[in-house]
């Protein structure tokens, strides 16, 4: 069975904004998704937050087409009361990160992919949190 990965908002932003530092890693990661080598997940809040942030950078028609295509390749997960309650207990500084992390745990995701240095340094251990570049190195290693 393919590895399951959850993409943080910053990974989608990295893909869509070629001026971002981790753009090339995001492109490689999305190539793996396109090829079916990994199963990818995001939350509905990743969609709405990404769209909001990119309003000034990309046209509405481009964003709509992107999310139409992404919804064919990536499973979009929903939040619920249990996830929120468990995320709050984590006591992370950033509630959005805590919610996304908890969604990944609840859905038995293998890796949480983020370039958020605070989240990477959070010490959370239930789920492997890695940067896109580190994940790309992990999957290149022979099994």
Predicted pLDDT of residue 122 = 67
The domains found in the chain, sorted by start residue, are 3-138 (3.40.50.1010)
- Cα(7)–Cα(5) distance, integer angstroms: 6
Sequence-ordered alpha helix ranges (H) in 54-143: 60-73, 81-90, 95-106, 117-120, 132-140
Tell whether the model's pLDDT for residue 126 goes beyond 60: no
Q: What is the pTM of this model?
A: 0.88
| pLDDT 10s digits, 32-88 | 999 999 999 999 999 999 999 999 999 999 999 999 999 999 999 999 999 999 999
């Amino acid at each position: 069975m393919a590895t399951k990965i959850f993409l943080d908002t910053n990974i989608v932003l990295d893909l869509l904004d070629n001026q971002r530092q981790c753009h090339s890693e995001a492109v490689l990661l999305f190539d793996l998704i396109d090829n079916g080598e990994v199963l990818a997940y995001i939350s509905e809040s990743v969609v709405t937050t990404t769209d909001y942030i990119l309003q000034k950078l990309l046209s509405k028609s481009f964003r709509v087409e992107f999310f139409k295509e992404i919804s064919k390749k990536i499973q979009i997960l929903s939040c619920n009361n249990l996830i929120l309650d468990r995320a709050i207990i984590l006591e992370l500084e950033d509630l959005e990160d805590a919610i996304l992390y908890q969604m990944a745990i609840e859905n038995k995701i293998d890796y949480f992919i983020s370039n958020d240095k605070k989240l990477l340094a959070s010490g959370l251990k239930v789920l492997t949190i890695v940067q896109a570049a580190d994940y790309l190195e992990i999957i290149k290693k022979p099994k």
